[in-house]
């Protein structure tokens, strides 16, 4: 999917909503993979689940 987004001249933003039980390394891996495919507009959604 990231390659399809990267191929667009005006890239839409990819919103990633990780489960709070997911290890950081898994989330970082997804972000890195999207960047390797050429995606430049990547955002994290749902950060409020980490506020205590």
- pLDDT-derived band at 30, boundaries 50, 70, 90: very high
Is there a domain that residue 52 lies in? no
Whether 10 maps to a domain, the answer reads: yes
Domain that holds residue 39: 2-43
Q: pTM value? A: 0.71
Report if residue 17 sits inside a domain.
Answer: yes
Q: Among residues of the chain, what percentage have pLDDT more than 70?
A: 92
> How many whole angstroms separate alpha carbon 35 and alpha carbon 3?
9
Q: What is the reported pLDDT for 52? A: 63
């Amino acid at each position: 999917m990231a390659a399809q987004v990267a191929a667009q001249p005006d890239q839409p933003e990819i919103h990633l909503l990780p489960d709070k039980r997911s290890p950081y390394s898994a989330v970082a891996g997804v972000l890195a993979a999207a960047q390797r495919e050429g995606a430049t507009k990547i955002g994290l959604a749902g950060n409020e689940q980490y506020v205590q």
